Structure 1
Amino acid sequence: MSGKIVMIGSMKGGVSKTVTTFNLAYSLSKLGKKVLAVDFDSQANLSTCLGVENVTAVPVTIGNLMLAQIEEEELPERSEYIQTRNGVDYISSSMVLSAVDAKLRLEMGSEKMLLDILETLRDSYDYILIDTSPSLGALTINAMSAADEVLITVNPQLLAMMGLQDFLKTVKKIKNRINSRLSVAGILLTMCDSRTNLCKVITEEVTETFEGQIKIFESMIPNTVKVGESVYYSEPLVEYAPDSKACVAYNNLAKELIENEG
């Protein structure tokens, strides 16, 4: 088994990136896939979703692994940094990652530090999902350098659309300069309120702009209260509200992602 590394990315905050990583991990797991979720954002929101109450108390986070990689130290045993919650493995984050971000800018060949860590884990998983911060810093470049595919989350608002073009340019640069494997898995529309006119207009605009170039996932994630509630209770939708529209959408997204392999 050689797993696929998928980065969940966007140039904007508040577009359900973390929620998508969280729920997609469980939807894939439910379909029998072995999944590792990596919280690669110093705010550690994914870790919180996964039930980590105090990220500062986690002894080894992705930040510690990155520091070890920078200092060319041996990585600890997997059991020291891989945690499990209901069948999904994950690596927590913490504010240590902020220090890593600053250090990476001064390092030679720093783009592939995350890749070196994940390559040692790739054969143990079907999917490794990386949740990233909404800024284009050294950490996001590391995530793109490690990934096989980028799944881009966009909420149907004009500003999110504008950020999408910039993000795609960055993906192209990384592909040309650092990581020739990198491709776009597709664009996922999140927080869709199908009753609003704006949602329809932007959805059509995304489709017209990218059809034939980039896959636009048929699954669109609706804007429902259940999503927020499930995050509050640190339960993925497959556990908290398995019959909700959002859960069905994430399950369908997982199927689409797997079909992409075909």
Structure 2
Amino acid sequence: MMSKVIAICNQKGGVGKTTTAIAMGAVLAELGKKVLLIDVDDSGNPSLSINLGTEEPERSLVDLMLTSYMDRDTTSLLEETILHHGEGMDYIPAENRLGGISEILSASQDEAKKRTVLKRAIAPIRERYEYILLDAAPTLNMMSINLLTAADEIIITTQPQGAAEDGIPALVSSVAQVRQNLNPDLCIKGLLITMLDRRTNYNKEKASTMERAYSDLGMRVFSTRIPRAITAESCMEQHQSILKFDPKGKVAAAYRDLVNEYLSEEA
């Protein structure tokens, strides 16, 4: 089975990364795909894990990355760490100690080793899944480099407003550096506009401006745009994806459209 590792990124917070990772995972699982979500948020707020119902996991990405960093095989530990969600996805949770791993890696003198810890940690189970979705922290640090090194593709999520867009140039620069030094096949799959409020002219005009600007720079912008809705926030409290919480709503429909748009190019 060929797997695809997709990182959901933006160094700005509040732009729908976690919602997108969970919703895409749920849609792919709904389509019968084997899906693994990994919480790579080391900011002290492992929202993907919490939103899927795991606040204090017995085993987490922390254990996997420490084991990988010490050059030990992670195969048996992965079996203990991977959890299953009722909507058909597997996931690897994170917890607050993950930020300490970033500090350990940053202090390491082994430049090549410290950038590939995540990639080596998940290598034993990579081919078990068709899609592995990485939910990134809203930062650019050593954990981010690990995430970009482990990924095949990146989807950048952004709200149609200036502040959310500010982090994109630095992220694109990091992608270029990782591609040059560590992961030559890494590509930016596209820019996804999230939390679009079609009731405001500013939001609609900003989305159109962003689409033109990034398309002119050669970056693909997904034609699917994810609308803003209160249900997208409420579903997390129920440990459900938006598909389960509001299956007939506009956000669920948009994420199904997004996955169909994504898969149509994979075929």
- Using the size of structure 1 for normalisation, the TM-score is 0.95
Give the AA of the match of 2:256: N
Of the candidates 138, 148, 153, which is equivalent to residue 149 of structure 1? 153
TM-fit CA distance, 1:192: 0.4
Q: Is the 8 A contact 2:157 2:193 kept in 1?
A: yes
Q: Is the 8 A contact 1:36 1:89 kept in 2?
A: yes
Query: 1:74 is matched with which residue?
Result: 73
TM-fit CA distance, 1:195: 1.4
Q: Distance in 2 between matches of 1:104 and 1:205?
A: 39
Query: Could you say what secondary structure the match of 2:253 adopts?
Result: helix
Q: Is the 8 A contact 1:49 1:231 kept in 2?
A: yes
1:175 lines up with 2:179 in the alignment = yes
Say which is worse superposed, 187-196 or 66-75, in terms of deviation.
66-75
Q: Distance in 2 between matches of 1:21 and 1:33?
A: 15
Query: Could you say what secondary structure the match of 2:167 adopts?
Result: helix
1:255 lines up with 2:256 in the alignment = no
CA deviation string 1:68-123 (max 9, x = no partner): 11122332343200000121000000122111000001221211111112222221
Work out the number of aligned pairs and report it. 259
CA deviation string 1:106-147 (max 9, x = no partner): 221211111112222221111000001011010011000000
TM-fit CA distance, 1:175: 1.0
Give the AA of the match of 1:211: S
Give the AA of the match of 2:98: L
Query: 2:85 is matched with which residue?
Result: 85
Q: Distance in 2 between matches of 1:142 and 1:78?
A: 18
Query: 1:12 is matched with which residue?
Result: 12
TM-fit CA distance, 1:208: 1.3
Query: Could you say what secondary structure the match of 1:211 adopts?
Result: helix
- Using the size of structure 2 for normalisation, the TM-score is 0.93
Q: Is the 8 A contact 1:64 1:96 kept in 2?
A: no
CA deviation string 1:151-196 (max 9, x = no partner): 0000011112222222212211211121101001110101100111
Q: Distance in 2 between matches of 1:28 and 1:9?
A: 19
Q: Is the 8 A contact 2:64 2:78 kept in 1?
A: no
Say which is worse superposed, 74-83 or 179-188, in terms of deviation.
74-83
Percent identity, aligned pairs only, is: 30
Q: Is the 8 A contact 2:34 2:131 kept in 1?
A: yes
Query: Could you say what secondary structure the match of 1:134 adopts?
Result: coil
Structure-to-structure mapping, 1:1-262, within 5 angstroms: 1-42=1-42, 43-52=45-54, 54-55=55-56, 58-75=57-74, 76-86=76-86, 87-107=88-108, 108=110, 109=112, 110-211=114-215, 213-262=218-267
What 5-or-longer segments of structure 2 have no aligned partner? Answer: none
What 5-or-longer segments of structure 1 have no aligned partner? Answer: none
Q: Is the 8 A contact 2:64 2:77 kept in 1?
A: no
Q: Distance in 1 between matches of 2:149 and 2:11?
A: 16
Query: Could you say what secondary structure the match of 2:199 adopts?
Result: coil
CA RMSD of aligned residues (A): 1.2
Deviating 4+ runs (over 4 angstroms): none
Q: Distance in 1 between matches of 2:115 and 2:265?
A: 27
